[in-house]
Amino acid sequence: MWIVFAFGSAFFAGVTAILAKCGIQKTDSTVATAIRTIVVLIFSWLMVLVAGSGTQIPSIDGTTWLYLILSGLATGVSWLCYFKALQLGDINKVVPVDKSSVILTILLAFICLHEKIRLFSAVGVVMIAAGTFLIIEKKDVQKQKTGQKKRWLLYAVGSAVFASLTSLLGKIGILGVESNLGTAIRTAVVLLMAWGMVFITHKVRDVKEIPRKEWVFICLSGIATGASWLCYYRALQEGPASVIVPIDKLSILVTVVFSYFVFHERLSKKSGIGLALIVVGTLLMLIP
């Protein structure tokens, strides 16, 4: 049964980006991020209730709180950048660039946590880097340099950088706390940050102007994220992590397929090769 939950995690994670893109056609991405985080927060605390780890809150020390908060802030910036990139660019380009955060995460873990880089991990990093390079086509870079129309690349790179910081800070922060509880606390920080950005940028009024249809998609994207988390942790409870994690990473394929049918976004031959390299490189990194 665990394999069903593993594929469910990948499916819902892949669909999240599609639903979010549908919800930010006319809605500001910062406002949409703040709203969907409410839904994600509900799911994250639901997992805490299921795990029964809420009683650990009084025993969390100051250092752990600091790293959890910093991890939450990094997550918030990553989400804000990610959904801004989705609003400006094609999903089948934004998602692979965002997934390249694994490269920086491994390097930071090597430098800061002194974790060893295995041969397969090194080969995987090179393949992911090459695949990401192929996906970012020359015309995308030219648009970025001339300031024309789209700035998705900067936001996508920002999303990847802060996602890697999230992983590093999160790993340190959850050493003394149950993982579900740590995730819930970080999500609460993201919620405060996202709504803080809404108020600072004077976009509160935009909430009332969100089309009903986009309200639905924004909430559905939050539900999809929560469903992905629930499936992922349920799968880990019953099955081997060495199999579950690679399956979950296949969410990138789900996103690309749905982007083709929903938004008619097509990958060029070069970008297709890049995507294949990213997928194979990710799988290689998970070989013991």
pLDDT in tens, the chain (288 residues): 888 988 999 999 999 999 999 999 999 999 999 999 999 999 899 889 888 888 999 998 888 899 889 989 999 999 999 999 999 988 988 998 988 888 888 888 888 878 788 888 889 889 989 998 888 865 555 555 445 446 888 999 999 999 889 878 877 776 678 878 888 998 999 999 999 999 999 999 999 999 999 999 999 999 999 899 888 877 877 787 667 767 877 888 899 889 989 988 888 888 899 989 988 988 887 777
Residue 137: per-residue pLDDT: 65
Pull the structure tokens for residue 41: 């927060």
Name 170's Cβ contacts closer than 8 Å, sequence gap at least 6. Answer: 67, 68, 71, 75, 182, 186
pTM (2 decimals)? Answer: 0.86
Residue 241: per-residue pLDDT: 65
- d(C-alpha 250, C-alpha 104), whole Å: 20
Which residue stretches of 147-287 are H helix?
152-173, 179-200, 212-238, 241-249, 251-263, 269-285
Residue 148: per-residue pLDDT: 42
Residue 207: per-residue pLDDT: 93
Residue 149: per-residue pLDDT: 47
Domain of residue 71: give its range. Answer: 2-285
Going by C-alpha positions, the residue among 188, 197, 221, 212 that lies closest to residue 87 is 221
Residue 224: per-residue pLDDT: 95
For residue 210, report the phi and psi dihedrals to the nearest 5 degrees: -70, 125
Residue 138: per-residue pLDDT: 55
Instruction: State whether the Cα torsion 143-148-152-153 is positive or negative.
Output: positive
Name 152's Cβ contacts closer than 8 Å, sequence gap at least 6. Answer: 85, 86, 88, 89, 90, 93, 94, 140
Q: How many domains does the chain have?
A: 1
